Structure 1
Amino acid sequence: MTAVQPKHTLITEASIKGLMHTYDIGHVDECIFLTRGLNDTYRIKTANDYYIYRVYRHGWRDYSSIQFEADGLQHLKQRRFPVSYPIIKSDGTMISTIEAPEGTRYGVLFTYSPGERPTIQPNHAGKIGELLGKMHSLTDDFRSSNYRGFKLDESHLLDEPLSRINPLIKAYLGEEAEEEIANAVKNIKKELSNKKLEVGFCHGDFHNHNMHINQGNLEVFDFDCSAIGYRAYDIAVAWWNIRSNYQSEEKACWNAFLSAYLEERNLSDDDFQSLPLFITARRIWLLGAMLENDDVWGSNWINKSSLELFILQIQSDRNREENRIR
């Protein structure tokens, strides 16, 4: 298999440090590259504080889409929700333009969330559920004049990733497996069409990897996948994370999460019944995102065994719909 070529260059730490003069944050002592993902992340240190600088990859999010994310974060900040939010530059804007070899990229400076990733156990799961319920309630009235570019709907979660998944499934597992995935997607779309689901501002990736806990308090970050969409999908992502990574604690943690969420806001029966469908949708979206961004996740994992596991997970989700945890 040929090597995967990076789709975006890495901006040097010195260049990122040079951009900090556009902010009123004082002298920058240090700029450290932290991680490459769908975007590149740097940690900025001044005499008084830490910050996070994100450089969006070329073609991933346009200016208006990033401004939508910033609008949502400012909305939450104004309502005192614990969130990492954009720092406003000296000229009153929040987004910097960076010309890279591959094309225009954008950068945003965020406040730093102290602490560490919360472990998944019932107490923390309850805190996470409470926080998501509050976030949904606080953004019921959120509006933005900026175009996000996508919604967390059937097109984004199912149709787009399926167009990338199907050729591989067919190549490695044959037409029967390809048809099975296609039918699973058709079934999800059919069932969702018969439900009246709540739509509103969503984080899009709400689980413990995108929050820190500090002295018992949680703070949420990384709203890169945020958009208007199905609120049940936001809830299902948290359940998917518990189910996928903390199986021995699933029932206790899911019950704690859901109970805490329901203390903050109601969940209709249609929304609750859709949660298993959105767990499957999450699996499909994630596989599609990994295939689309192979310079981040590589390609060694793309093989018959991994795709067979994906099929088994889809089948398992379907079988478990009759034995839901509540």
Structure 2
Amino acid sequence: MKTIHVRNSLLTNSSVEFLVNSYEIGTIIKCEFLTRGLNDTYSVFTESNKYIFRIYRKGWREKTDILYELDAIKHLSEYGCRVSIPIKRKDGKWLSEIYTPEGTRYGVLFTFTKGDRPEINKENCYLIGKALGNIHEASDSFITNHKRNFELNFLHLVDEPMSLITPTLQKFMKNSKDSFLNQIITNIKFDIVGKNLEYGFCHGDFHNFNMHLMEQKIEAFDFDCCSIGYRSYDIAVFWWNLKQNYSNVENQCWDEFLNGYLSQKSISNDNLNVLLKFVTLRRIWLLGTLLKNDDVWGTHWINKKNLDNFLTQLEQDVEKF
């Protein structure tokens, strides 16, 4: 009989409720599945509070990666950054081991970030930039014994994604764009390597979908993509978000974001001058991530039209380098 393999199981609400009984949070009223992405997220309600329970996907993050992330979040909280923090189990452990058909997965309970996703306007973008500046400033002293299995460097942002993008373009574009894309990457690498860029802890996915605003204060969550890496990339992710989702207010909001960041942390001209190039790398990383995780996003979107749109965005970036 052929063995059946499972890539990514989904736990029932009742199973999650059983798991979160291992935490000292009071009487649990209910657990609700919230969203599926690169990890599975559930809302947990008690008589007095709300929490978030995240179950990390098998093969996406290893145990040491998760412990690195939690150490970083705890460090930031201790240094005054507003972040959603992990909660220990009754047995003193940070991780809940979950035995699923695809193998051992890990769950973490986090505090719930109150407020709402910040609207994109000049005032809020200043606060968002300020929050990222605080994170970078506070994390300069971060150390941990846990290993992160990737850094936000060329290997992770370009080389690994391109191993998936190249055959996809060859399939749908018949090699017509290979030289164009390879030349862009070669030029970006050459330009970045020649500069003295800041390298340190990064959130990795810092945009308004991964934070809430309450009483004019930003609280960040979802550090799943954090690691050490190019700080210019971490800053550029927000610019990418503006270009992708809020192009009508891009210029004014980007200026305010930078003003907010610079109010908390200085940045050299070398770092500022390569930000648009890191927007391009963000586009490459994202496409590679979508292709790699087809069990999350499917394959229906992989077609010539969407690939053309990706290449057009890169062309528009290059025009402004």
TM bin (shorter chain): over 0.9
Q: Which amino acid aligns with 1:146?
A: H
Aligned to 1:277: 277
**Identity in percent:** 46
Aligned to 2:19: 19
Q: Which amino acid aligns with 1:288?
A: G
Structure 1 residues 142, 46: closer, same or farther in 2, change over 3 A? same
Aligned to 1:179: 179
Measure the CA separation in 1 of the matches of 2:217 and 2:272: 27
Aligned to 1:304: 304
Q: Which amino acid aligns with 1:80?
A: G
CA-to-aligned-CA distance 1:65-98 (integer Å, 9 cap, x gap) = 1000000000011112110010011122111111
Contact preservation (8 Å) 1:118, 1:213: yes
Aligned to 1:140, the other structure's residue is in SS state helix
Any stretches of 5+ residues in structure 1 without a counterpart?
322-326
Q: Which amino acid aligns with 2:248?
A: S
Structure 1 residues 180, 10: closer, same or farther in 2, change over 3 A? same
1:288 aligns with 2:288: yes
Measure the CA separation in 2 of the matches of 1:7 and 1:209: 26
Contact preservation (8 Å) 1:84, 1:110: yes
Report deviation, 1:136. 0.4
Measure the CA separation in 2 of the matches of 1:155 and 1:122: 34
Aligned to 1:207: 207
Matches within 5 A, 1:103-182: 103-182=103-182
Measure the CA separation in 2 of the matches of 1:201 and 1:95: 22
CA-to-aligned-CA distance 1:283-310 (integer Å, 9 cap, x gap) = 0000000000112112111101110111
Report deviation, 1:6. 7.3
Aligned to 1:187, the other structure's residue is in SS state helix
Contact preservation (8 Å) 2:122, 2:253: yes
Contact preservation (8 Å) 2:117, 2:212: yes
Aligned to 1:106, the other structure's residue is in SS state strand
Runs of 4+ in 1 over 3 A off after TM superposition: none
Measure the CA separation in 1 of the matches of 2:176 and 2:184: 12
1:36 aligns with 2:36: yes
Q: Which amino acid aligns with 1:165?
A: I
Measure the CA separation in 2 of the matches of 1:16 and 1:306: 37
Contact preservation (8 Å) 1:6, 1:295: no
Q: Which amino acid aligns with 1:16?
A: V
Contact preservation (8 Å) 1:210, 1:220: yes
Any stretches of 5+ residues in structure 2 without a counterpart?
none
Q: CA RMSD in A?
A: 1.1
Contact preservation (8 Å) 1:118, 1:211: yes
Q: Which amino acid aligns with 1:172?
A: F
Contact preservation (8 Å) 2:17, 2:28: yes
Q: Which amino acid aligns with 1:186?
A: T
Number of equivalenced pairs: 317
Aligned to 1:97: 97
Aligned to 1:70, the other structure's residue is in SS state helix
Contact preservation (8 Å) 2:6, 2:101: no
Q: TM-score, normalised by structure 1?
A: 0.95
